[in-house]
Structure formats: structure tokens, C-alpha cells
Structure 1
């Protein structure tokens, strides 16, 4: 029987569904990333409360970060058994519960346990929300995924900054309870947006094999190339941020100028995540990745060798390409994998990038200890200059694979 719903109404319903999916994913990303970065604000408070050494503070940070990184793939497997919308809501509630328990913790061990619970909740968001947006928008997902990534930076900017301000007026416990409430409000908003969404949030029931001439035919080599580039890109980003304060100091910069420099990079990074998805739609993913990585390498060299004033002026531009590449890489995943495997693919992708971001400062730090800061930063720039190679090779073999 033919459908009695006019085609225009079906189109409107689909657009509304996609919009709700994107807003819900952005809300979850902002909340989870913002709550994750609260750890940095509370580390000095915890040190004073529990008389902790820097080693113990590192353990607390790792309790959250390593849980978040290690459970990406297991979290993605849950999408085969439960609705993605339900997983996203429940995981956000679990994260809020973790922060609530952190506010009640009377010892460092109890606090660590609470942060593990928060990390368990946070591990679900990246693969599930990314896949929901990618599935909702299909081949036009680069811009929405850029907005999704931008939302995470917004959360990282607003929540920790507001927490630092609130700690000057309220008690530590009350502030933590308030941010647990923020997590619950985010979960409620996500649920209100997704409860009637199906097309944007659910994996397709059909498991029809991918056509040989489709973009996903490049999987797994195309996906592996994206992952390799993303791992190197994440290593460059975290490595450079680790050394940036020392570069500014070597240029004669003050502590205030160091803070300003980091802020300029982060502002540029937020703009880059917002804009680079649009650039990829014009130039194509492979060309955009090539351009942004080469610009990253060049601008790192400019910051390293230029006088302080010129280096500071270059930092926002560096932030754009340093962070913006990730939006293009995440968007390109949707071009090269079977839609039925999106959650798994994104979980592997995030595991690789988060893990690289955690290990890179250690490896580059070893180079800095033995070769000096300038040499270590040049190695970072060199890493950026070759990071596009895997994607470029695959694109040369099959120019259609990344840009359908």
C-alpha cells in the first residue's frame, strides 16, 4: 500500500530527526568533554584535601582518562544490543553519578573509584554519538561532525572555567553537586531530543554487503590509513601543547603570556573544528588533510623560531589547523566504512587517538630531555609533515574513496 504521507512531510520529518540527533550529540559531547576536563580544575583542591603527592594526582587523572580510553571498543559493542539513544542517556547519567560520588568521597581511594565510574559513563559518548551523526547525515556528515567536534571544545571551555569561578564563591562539595546536576540535565535534554528519533540514531537492520564500487569498499585499508593519520595528528597536537609553555618561556615570555598563548591556540582550535569540515566539502577530505598537516608543520616551525610577538600572532592560525584536522578525519570515517560498523569503527578510532594523545607527551618528553626542547619540537613538526602520507597513498590508489 502506498504511503499516505506526502513526500514533503517525510522530508520535513527527516530533517527534524537529523537536527535533533545532531543537537543531542552536541549536547552530550559538550557535557562529557566539559565534565572530563573538570579534573584539571579540581586537582589542586584534591591535593590539599587529601595531602596527595603529584604521583597520586597523576593516578587520579589516569583513573578517569584510562577508563575513558580503554572502554571505547566495549562501549561500541553495546550498540548491537541496545538503542544508541538509550546508551547515550544512560551513560550521561552514569557520568553524573560518578561526579556526585566524587563530591561525597572522603578519601583518595574513594575519589579514584568515583572517577572510574565517571570514566565508564564517558567512554560511551564518543563512538555512539559520532556514529549517530554520521548515520543521520550520510555522505553529508562532514559539516555536522565538525559541529559535533566543536561542541566538545565549547564544553571544555565553559565548564572548567565556570567551575574555577564558582570555587571562589561556593564550597567544593556544592560545586561538584552542581556539575553532577549539569550531567543529569544534559541526559534529560538528550532524551527529550532522541526519544522519537529512529532514522538518525539506529543502525540499519539490513546487513547488506557493501557494493564493490562504494566508498566502503576501501575498508579496511582506507580506514587504517585514516587511523594512522589520526594517531600521528593526535600525537602532534598533544606533544606541541606540552612544549608550548617552554617555547614561550625560551622566547622570554611571562607566565601570563604563556596562559595567553595557550588560550590563543584553543580559540583557534575551536574555530578550526567548526570550519575545517566546510573546507573538506570544497577541497575534499584527502586534500584538506594534506593542507592542514603541512600548515601545522610550517606554523610550528614559525612559532619555534620567530620572535615572541610573531609567534603569538601565529598561534591562533596554528590552533585552526592543529585541531581542525581531527574534524576532517572523523568525517572521513563515514566515507570508508560500512554503515553497520560505524560504532565499532569510531570506537577503534577514538581509542587510537586518545591513546596516542596520552603516550605522545611521554615520548616527545624523552626526546626533549636528551636532545633539547627545540629538537623535540622539530620532531613534532616532522611528525605533522609526514602524518598525511597514509591517507595520500590510499587516495592516489583510489581517488574516489574519501570523497564521494
Structure 2
């Protein structure tokens, strides 16, 4: 499921240049289309979590997946700019439900040990989808296949996945009712946060982590160019980081089960800061070859953080908690490139990159604030 939704979301990076050429779109229109999709994803994640508490994660996840599939079917028949804008807005709306609800379903399935490993595996397959869908579309375009055919196939895959979810995925809302556990959880007030200090620390760490990741991915190619790397090689910077990130999301989730939350966050964030700063001082080729290793820790922390939400929030409030944390990440993904890009224009890309590398170290003392939540969880068992 994560493979499908992340693939549908990020395949637009490949589609937009083709659509711009086919329909004569300006760069402003291309930016507006992508912004509409990302804004829809960010805006509907918290509402999706709230609605799921009433109707169940499975039902809303199936509905959102169906919307995303139908949106891509509509995109395949789009006659112009406004139809493209409308279709991709609804694709973003459909994909908004996936991160919080699928994460909540996994957390229900793994309430204790194994949750971080399971969510790490889930995050890993999201990156697989980004490569698979984007790579498949690119190869088809190079082979001379029109853009409509792959878009329609992606839409049909979305519809098929929605049907599969309805038939195969158990509804946690139903299972909670049948086991008789819903009554105590139904009395949980507000957001159901059991450890406000731990949850606040987790959110602050996620803000810095997401901002650093988005900012570095945006500017790293420009850093390589400024260091003297040819443009063609510099364009490979982000794919190299993402390849490392795929391994990091899987590995860090597994390692957190063995070494603990605090230790893994401290290790990955210190390694992230040191890796980013190292790209500024190493020779150009050395910095370029370091990027996959930077990607391992840059993307790996998220698996640890998302797998820890269940330690701080009541079971029946997990959908809204995941909606909130993913919304934070989405907003940072929009704001961080703008802020660091503006800073880079004023003081140079090296200064912007250096600031990212320094600020990420602020997460280290915050990581130790996660301990009380862990202790409270152990005492309640």
C-alpha cells in the first residue's frame, strides 16, 4: 500500500515535465499543480485521522485509495491545465489518508515489540514505490509510449488496491469492539496523549529532522555544482541519497528494537549532522561518494520516530496522532526548502547547508526527553 501511494505521489515529478510539454504549461503552472497536490496531502491528514476514529481506518483507507485511483484515471483523460490541477488535487486528497491510517493499522497490529521494525519496513516500501513508479514511467516515455497509458494503468492499480483493502485488511475499529476493549478507550479525552513531554519532544525532533531532510535534498545538487562537479553528475546526488535512505528506513527501524529509541535517535541525528558538515569539507568526489551513507541516517530517523508514537498516545487516538505528525512533516517539506533556499540566495549554498548540519544537533538533548514516555509505558504493562 505504501509502495502504491508513494509511487502515485512522486511519479508526478516525472509526469510534470511531460505534461508541461504536451499542454504548453508554464513553470508557474507546473509549480501550482505540484503545490496543489502537496497542499491537499498536508491539509487532509489530520481530518483523515479524526474521521477514521469514527468509521475505522480500513474503510477510510480504502476510500482514499479509490479517490487516488480515480484521480489518475481522470488525469489520463485531462484536456488541459485546469483538469490536471483538479485531478492531482484529488490525487493528493486520496493519498492524504495513507500515511496516518496505514501507520495506525500497523501500530494496532504490533502494539508492543516489533512496531518500529514493522513501521521501518513500511517506510522502506514507500521508497521502493517512488523508484518503481518513477522508473517505470521514465522508461516508457523514453521508449516512446504516450503519457496517458501509464497514468491510466496507475489509476487502475489504485482502484484494484482499494478493493483489496476492503476485502483483506481487518478493520481495527471492528476488532476493538468485538474484544470489549472499546469502553475504556472511548473515555479518552482530547488527543489521548499519555506523556505530553515525550510527545512534544518527538514532534520537535520531527520538525528539525524533516526540515533538514527536505532542505538538504533540495540544495545538495547545487552544493555539488558549486564544488565543481559536472551538472550531470550533480543531478545524481538526490537519487544516491534516496538509495541510502531506503536502506536506512528499514535498518533503523530494526535496530531501534535492539538498541532502544533514545540511543538510535542520538546516533542517527549526530551521524546526520556530521555527514552533512562533511560534505562541505571533503574533496568534491569524496563528498559525492559519501551521499548514500548520509542518506542512511538522514532518512532512517523517521522510522524510529513514527514507531514511537504508540508509546505516548492511547490506542484509539493513534489515527489523529499519526495525522498530526505526518502533517508536521508535510508542512516542513513545503517551508524548509523555501527558507533554506532564501538563505542560500543571500549567503551562499554552503552557509545554508552548514546551518542544517548544525541545527540537527539540537535534536540530541530532545531525544533524552523520550525516556519518561518509555518508563511510563513499561510501568503500565
Q: How does the TM-score come out when normalised to structure 2?
A: 0.92
Alpha-carbon distance between aligned partners in 1 of 2:83 and 2:19, rounded to the nearest angstrom = 12
- Partner Cα distance (1:344, 1:399) in 2: 21
* CA distance in structure 2 between the aligned counterparts of 1:394 and 1:143, rounded to whole angstroms: 18
Pair 1:161 & 2:135 matched: yes
Change (3 A) 1:60 1:366: same
Task: Measure, in 1, the Cα distance between the counterparts of 2:328 and 2:355.
Answer: 20
Unmatched 5+ stretches in structure 2:
187-191
Q: What is the SS of the residue equivalent to 2:182? A: coil
1:359 correspondence with 2:338: no
Task: Give the equivalent residue in structure 2 for 1:24.
Answer: none
Residue of structure 2 equivalent to 1:324: 300
Distance 1:106 1:310, change over 3 A: same
Give the Cα separation in 2 of the matches to 1:209 and 1:78. Answer: 16
Q: For the residues of structure 1 that align with 2:27 and 2:85, how far apart are their CA atoms?
A: 14
Q: Confirm or deny that 1:227 pairs with 2:207.
A: no
Provide, for residues 12-55 of structure 1, a one-character-per-residue CA deviation record: whole Å limited to 9, x for no partner.
Answer: xxxxxxxxxxxxxxxx2111110001111111122122222211
Secondary structure at the aligned position of 1:138 is classed as coil
**Does residue 388 in structure 1 map to residue 361 in structure 2?**
no
Alignment map for 1:1-400 (pairs within 5 Å): 28-140=1-113, 141-168=115-142, 169-194=144-169, 197-198=170-171, 205-208=181-184, 218-395=194-371, 400=375
Give secondary structure in 2 for the equivalent of 1:31: helix
Task: Indicate conservation of the 8 Å contact 2:53/2:316, yes or no.
Answer: no
**In terms of mean alpha carbon deviation, does 46-55 or 363-372 score higher?**
46-55
Cα distance 1:256–1:66, how it changes in 2: closer, same or farther (>3 A)?
same
The aligned counterpart of 1:3 is: none
CA contact (8 A) 1:146 1:273 kept: yes
State the shift of 1:218 in Å. 4.6
Give the Cα–Cα distance (whole angstroms) in 1 for the partners of residues 378 and 286 of structure 2: 36
Distance (whole Å) between structure 2 residues aligned to residue 338 and residue 43 of structure 1:
41
Counterpart residue number, 2:189: none
Q: 1: CA distance between counterparts of 2:80 and 2:195?
A: 48
Contact 2:57 2:171 in 1 (8 A): no
More moved, 43-52 vs 220-229: 43-52
- Deviation, 1:174, is 1.8
Tell me if the contact between 2:279 and 2:287 (Cα under 8 Å) persists in the aligned partners. Answer: yes
Distance 1:201 1:167 in 2: 45
- How far the C-alpha of 1:108 sits from its partner, in A, is 0.6
- Distance 1:391-1:230 versus aligned 2 partners, 3 A rule: same
- CA displacement at 1:402 relative to structure 2: 7.5
Alignment size in residue pairs? 370
CA positional deviation for 1:403: 7.6
Deviation per CA, 1:135-165: give whole Å up to 9, x if none. 1101121100001111111101100110111
Q: How far apart are 1:208 and its partner, in Å?
A: 2.1
CA contact (8 A) 2:59 2:171 kept: no
Superposition deviation, residue 198 in structure 1: 4.6
Secondary structure at the aligned position of 1:171 is classed as coil
Runs of 5+ unmatched residues, structure 1? 1-27, 211-215
Q: Structure 2 vs 1, CA of residues 339 and 399 (structure 1 numbering), >3 Å: closer, same or farther? A: closer
Task: Provide the C-alpha distance between the structure 2 equivalents of 1:365 and 1:124, rounded to a whole number of angstroms.
Answer: 30
Question: In 2 relative to 1, CA 351–126 (structure 1 residues): closer, same or farther, beyond 3 Å?
Answer: same
Contact 1:136 1:200 in 2 (8 A): no
* Structural RMSD (CA): 2.1
Distance (Å, rounded) in 2 between the aligned partners of 1:198 and 1:51 = 45
